[in-house]
Structure 1
Amino acid sequence: MTVSRRQALAAVPAAGLLAALGRSAWAQSGFETARIITGFAAGGTADVISRRAAEKMQPGYARTVLVENRTGAGGQIAVQYVKAAASDGATVLQTPMSMLCIYPHIYKKLPYDPVADLSPVSLGAVFDLAFGVGPMVPASVKTVNDYLAWAKESPKRGSFGVPAAGSIAHFMGVLLGRAGGVELQQVPYRGTLPAIQEMVGGQLPAVCGPVGEFTQFVKAGKCRLLATAGARRSRFAPEVPTLVEQGFKDMVYRDWFAFYLPPRSSPEQVQRLHAALASALAAPDVVAGLAAIGLEAQSSTPAELAAMQRKELELWDPLVKTIGFTADS
């Protein structure tokens, strides 16, 4: 008998034990299937982080963890769905920050309370935003200032795609236009990926969104990044200068994805999901997989996430008022 065969046979009881533990865990949870709800299209960063987490949460958190893309209303439909879901731990929301920290300032009748209607569980990932252009924009446009000068020549050139109206990407583009003395018009999509696809197809000049969403298209030579919006150059696009480097001194934007449970979820349910997510987000293949699309995997405690959310809510209130945008207008 070879060593490898002895090891394989010895591993059988251990494998059986792990399987039994997995079955016991999901049996005790009260559900065999859990769902992660995300408000954006399949293939985008919101979808990828949900699927990476879901793979690692099986079978310990639930026997099967599915991802559902409930798109529409700039991510609101997903939040509403989880708000109304049973508080049994089987339905999880994964959302970018904008839906919870910016939308309350731009919608007079937001169909959910971002604090009262959700139970914070954990941060999922952080990422920088980027401004990219496609084949509609001439190769001579190499910087954001070049683009603003080009856009000034015709109103039709001043449109840019965003993952949702009222998102950080939306406001970043508007503020860039104001800094350059040109009105840039945002065009909302159900996620950044559909916007980029329109841009590389020649129907849209520019897109503002997560830096990782552009990666595959930049590598294929179908679009190019003019700037990233972090405090320092993105490690995912180190050759691209930041907005600060290009003279936009106050424009530093970083967004995040996070996980929530429905309201009235018990502390035990929150902690159980938190443990599953913390383990999933620390897995080397998850860290590497998210890095491949420009996301930095990062978990947090429920209390830390709640504090981050409160801080962002306060931060964006005066900024939204300065911009003067309301989604109801």
Structure 2
Amino acid sequence: MKQWLLAAGLALALIGPASADNYPSRPITLVVPLSVGGSTDVIGRLIAQGMSKQLHQTIVVENTSGAGGTIGVGRVVHATPDGYTMLIGQWGTNVATGAIYHLNFDLLKDLQPIGLIATQPFLIVARGNIPANNLKELIAWIKANPKTATEGNSGIGSPSHVSGILFQKAINSPIQMIPYRGAGESTQAIVSGQIDVLLNTPAVSMAQLKAKQVKVFAVTAPKRLATAPDIPTTDEAGLPGFYFTFWHALWVPKDTPKDVVARLNGALRGALADPEIKNRLTALAQDIFPPEEQAPEALAKFQNSEIQKWWPVIKEAGITAH
């Protein structure tokens, strides 16, 4: 009996390293913590495509939205740490929510970083039939309609929510905030004219602009977009110094084996260097992080610095989930 147990133990010991070497031996799930159609979803699907090619394995995208992305993030936090469940998160889901929601997990301690992907600015967008033709006219219209002007966002704690509050403070005028489950839904609302204003990403707004379904007044960055050079910056349009950019990155549950983390990081780097993926991200006005900033350690340091920077700002602005 003892000999059988010893043999079984040796067999299991041999199986362990072999199975790690075979990773990934089955499809990987990439959790998008927001709804279909927003930039997190669009970028997630591109990254899944690029990493799938690098890993020679299918990556299935799963949208798990709600509560500013905290439901989807929690799904990954509590998943088995074997490398078969990944999270694409961003400034809203992995920084801002920690200052806004009472989370039952720690954004820094309960997730293992894989790497940074890209950063992007917002566009200040309005419904297509709004009676304003530039940012100064839009601000004047909002101030003339303080009780009826509406601004959509992608959910409480999302980048569009926090930046929307900061936009109201910058123009010194209130706007009724209307939260949606993601940028896909808030984009549909601005296109259909259900809301007046939205801070939205180039990744999801450029198609509506080209189709003349919305008006775009400015980019929230100090320089114009290479993909849309006709859109002025906030400095040029009359709201100097109002900048807001946010980023995307990948995580897995804490305690995921180091060799698996290294394999996923290598696949992410390969995807970001792939000409097809790189060009498609660039076309969506994504500024890809340079290779030296794509390491897991770089993401950990960057995320921590973002929390230190933004939590006081969010709390001072009185932004809560209630």
TM-score by length of 2: 0.87
1:205 pairs with 2:196: yes
C-alpha distance in structure 2 between counterparts of 1:177 and 1:67, whole Å? 35
Find the partner of 2:115 among 111, 114, 122: 122
Alignment correspondent of 2:250? 259
Q: What's 1:280 paired with?
A: 271
After superposition, give the CA deviation of every residue in 1:102-138 in whole Å (9 maximum; x if it has no partner): 111122x113210011001111121111110113412
Moved over 6 A (4+): 24-27
- Greater Cα shift, 161-170 or 209-218: 161-170
- Cα shift at 1:245: 2.5
Which residue matches 1:216? 207
Shift of 1:62: 5.5
1:315 aligns with 2:304: no
Which residue of the partner structure matches residue 179 of structure 1?
170
1:128-207 aligned at under 5 Å gives the runs: 128-138=121-131, 141-207=132-198
Unaligned runs of 5+ in 2: 1-17
Question: Does the Cα contact within 8 Å between 1:122 and 1:301 map onto a contact in 2?
Answer: yes
Which one of the candidate residues 41, 44, 50 is aligned to 1:47? 41
1:247 shift after superposition: 4.1
Mean Cα deviation higher: 214-223 or 31-40: 31-40
Task: Confirm whether residue 305 of structure 1 aligns to residue 277 of structure 2.
Answer: no
Asked if the contact 1:32/1:62 (under 8 Å) is kept, the reply is no
- Cα distance, 1:30 vs structure 2: 5.5
What is the root-mean-square deviation in Å for CA atoms of aligned residues?
Answer: 2.0
How far apart, in 1, do the equivalents of 2:123 and 2:148 lie? 18
Q: Is the 8 A contact 2:222 2:243 kept in 1?
A: yes
- What is the deviation of 1:241? 1.5
What letter matches 2:130 in structure 1?
V
Equivalent residue number for residue 326 of structure 1: 320
**Could you tell me whether the CA contact under 8 Å between 1:161 and 1:192 is conserved in 2?**
no
Aligned to 1:19: none
2:97/2:157 contact within 8 Å kept: yes
Q: SS of the counterpart of 1:74?
A: helix
The aligned residue for residue 281 of structure 2 is: 290
Q: Gapped runs of 5+ residues in structure 1?
A: 1-23
Most deviating of 215-224 and 205-214: 205-214
Look up the match of 1:10.
none
The Cα of 1:143 is off from its aligned counterpart by 2.7
- Give the 3-state SS of the residue equivalent to 2:44 in structure 1: helix
Q: Partner of 1:58: helix, strand, or coil?
A: helix
Aligned length: 302
Residues 128-152 of structure 1: CA deviation (Å, up to 9, x unaligned): 11110113412xx123332121122
| Deviation of the 1:46 alpha carbon | 1.4
Q: Which AA in structure 2 matches 1:71?
A: S
The CA distance in 2 between the partners of 1:129 and 1:168, in whole Å, is 9
- Helix, strand or coil: the match of 1:244? helix
Q: Any idea what SS the aligned residue of 1:212 has?
A: helix
**Alpha-carbon contact 1:161-1:186 (below 8 Å) kept:** yes
2:22 to 19, 25, 28: 28
> What TM-score results when the alignment is normalised by the length of structure 1?
0.86
Question: What percent identity do the matched residue pairs reach?
Answer: 30
Structure 1 residues 44, 168: closer, same or farther in 2, change over 3 A? closer
How far apart, CA to CA, are the structure 2 residues paired with 1:187 and 1:181? 19
